[in-house]
Structure 1
Amino acid sequence: MDIQGKTALVTGASRGIGRAIAISLAKQKAKRLLLVARNRQSLAEVAAEIEELGTEAVILPLDLTQIVEVNIAIAQAWRDYGAIHLLINCAGVAHQTAFLESKLSDVQEELETNLIGMYSITRLIARRMVTQHQGVIVNVSSLMGKVAAPTMATYSATKFAIVGFTQALRGELASHNIRVLGLLPSLTDTDMVRDLKWFRWIQPMTTEQVANALITGLQQESPEILVGWQSHLAVWCNRIAPWLLEKILLISAPLPPVRRKYYQQLRKA
């Protein structure tokens, strides 16, 4: 995809990977960026940085779980700013805890934001892309959409679901000249993950590395973009020796030794 002169909408654009992607799109001479997130002030700061690069920035302070508000905002944006050629679904939340200690409210937030919110805005924009017979949709999953990890059960579940959703949508929308691809970064150094306990031996990526991988993938028309050598190694190991990868993940997981031993005994039972 040639990004120059195109209009893109980026969710989760106020921070982390979404912010880095928005800035990278501006550097690629996108004509206009519609920036979606809940925090208006943070969006305004990103918009100012983007406009310094010569790209028009429009902020849309939205909670993607509020479907009616999102529907109205997207309809108005399409009317006021014209067609959206590229949708980047990057908004997401993560809660880390042992499953038996998880809270239903945290589980619901992950499901509503990572899945329902993404589904809702994708449905609204995909329908409009069909009328113009062109478009690109990028769904940001994670390495945990390929390899699940202890203490991240619900987050892993949502990211696995995004991979499946992306694959299904790719087939359905291909006849309408709409490309659908997945972006799967490994652990990335963002403010969201800094509150989490990191897995041993994992080297975090920068948001710029993830954004650059996306730009390359868009240019090469890749259906799935797995980011980082650790991601490729983990997926390869999961195919060849899943039992080995499972043991490595259990050893590296931020679990107390007693609890790790307990889970190991459960696996043997």
Structure 2
Amino acid sequence: MDIQGKTALITGASRGIGRAIALEFATHGVKRLLLVARDRQRLASVAAEVSALGVDVITLAIDLSQPVEVSIAIARAWRDHGPIHVLVNCAGVAHQSPFLQTRLPQVQEEISTNLIGMYTITRLLARRMVAQQEGVIVNVSSLMGKLAAPTMATYSATKFAILGFSQALRGELSAHNVKVVTLLPSLTDTDMVRNLQWFRWVMPMTPEQVAQALVSGLAKGSNEILVGWQSHLAVWVNRLAPWLMEKLLVMAAPLPKRQPNFYPNFREARVVSR
């Protein structure tokens, strides 16, 4: 797809990969950008950068976990600014910890943003795209949507789910000239990951590299866009020798040498046959 002259909506646009995609789209001739995130001040800053490139820009400071708020904002945006041709679902959060140390509120936040938020806005825009018989939906997953890694179990679960969601949606919407694309970056140096413990041997990418890969993949008509040679190598090794990739992931993961006893008062129940 050629994005020149199109209108695109990008979630998670206030920082990281979302911001980089907004700027990359602007340099490739997109007509109008609708930028979505919760942080109004950060959105305004990105909007100023985009506007300086000669692109019409609208900011929508909304919380994707609030369906009513999202529905009203999208209806108004479509009415006031015309049809949206490209949706980029980039909003996401990640929490890292060994599974036995995970906390339910963090898991709920990952599911709420990474999945429910994506579902909510996609459903609203997909219906309109089907009605106009044109559109592209880009769902940002991750290499961890193909290779789940220790300390990132619940984040990986949401990214695996995005791949499944996208595949099903691709089959349903193709007859209506609506294309569904998945973008799978590996570790990317953004605000979201700077407080995480990085995996050994992984060289982080820049958000700009991810954005460039997306524009290139859209131009080629790709359904799935793996970003970077590390991702291609990891997926290739996993296909040939999944047992080896599993071992490598354990070796690379920032796991403690010995898992602590999280349940010190627990005593193993012994069943005696009589």
Residue 51 of structure 1 corresponds to 51
**Separation in structure 1 between the aligned mates of residue 142 and residue 215 of structure 2, nearest angstrom:** 17
Task: Check if 1:247 corresponds to 2:247.
Answer: yes
Please state how far the C-alpha of 1:258 moved relative to its aligned partner. 1.8
Of the two, which has the highest radius of gyration? 2
Residue 94 of structure 2 corresponds to 94
Q: Provide Cα deviations, 1:229-248, integer angstroms capped at 9, x if missing partner.
A: 11111111111111111111
**Separation in structure 2 between the aligned mates of residue 98 and residue 147 of structure 1, nearest angstrom:** 16
Give the letter for the 1:147 counterpart: L
Please state how far the C-alpha of 1:137 moved relative to its aligned partner. 0.4
Please state how far the C-alpha of 1:257 moved relative to its aligned partner. 1.4
TM-score normalised according to structure 1 size: 0.96
TM-score normalised according to structure 2 size: 0.94
Residue 175 of structure 2 corresponds to 175
**Separation in structure 2 between the aligned mates of residue 7 and residue 229 of structure 1, nearest angstrom:** 31
**Separation in structure 1 between the aligned mates of residue 251 and residue 129 of structure 2, nearest angstrom:** 46
Is the Cα–Cα contact under 8 Å of residues 143 and 231 in structure 1 kept in the other structure? yes
Residue 222 of structure 1 corresponds to 222
The percent identity for this pair of structures is 71
- In structure 1, the gaps of 5 or more residues are 261-269
Superposition map of 1:1-269 within 5 A:
1-259=1-259
**Separation in structure 1 between the aligned mates of residue 28 and residue 108 of structure 2, nearest angstrom:** 37
Q: Provide Cα deviations, 1:148-177, integer angstroms capped at 9, x if missing partner.
A: 000000000000000010111001000000
Please state how far the C-alpha of 1:4 moved relative to its aligned partner. 1.1
SS at match of 1:233: helix
Give the letter for the 1:227 counterpart: V
Q: How many residues align?
A: 260
Please state how far the C-alpha of 1:259 moved relative to its aligned partner. 3.2
Q: Which structure: greater helix fraction?
A: 1
Residue 265 of structure 2 corresponds to none
Give the letter for the 2:140 counterpart: V
C-alpha RMSD of the superposition: 0.8
Is the Cα–Cα contact under 8 Å of residues 181 and 223 in structure 1 kept in the other structure? yes
Residue 265 of structure 1 corresponds to none
**Separation in structure 2 between the aligned mates of residue 179 and residue 146 of structure 1, nearest angstrom:** 21
**Separation in structure 2 between the aligned mates of residue 251 and residue 136 of structure 1, nearest angstrom:** 38
SS at match of 1:194: coil
Is the Cα–Cα contact under 8 Å of residues 29 and 54 in structure 1 kept in the other structure? no
**Separation in structure 2 between the aligned mates of residue 15 and residue 182 of structure 1, nearest angstrom:** 20
Give the 4+ runs in structure 1 shifted more than 2 A: none
Give the letter for the 1:124 counterpart: L
Residue 266 of structure 1 corresponds to none
- In structure 2, the gaps of 5 or more residues are 261-274
Please state how far the C-alpha of 1:75 moved relative to its aligned partner. 0.2
SS at match of 2:180: strand
Please state how far the C-alpha of 1:212 moved relative to its aligned partner. 0.2
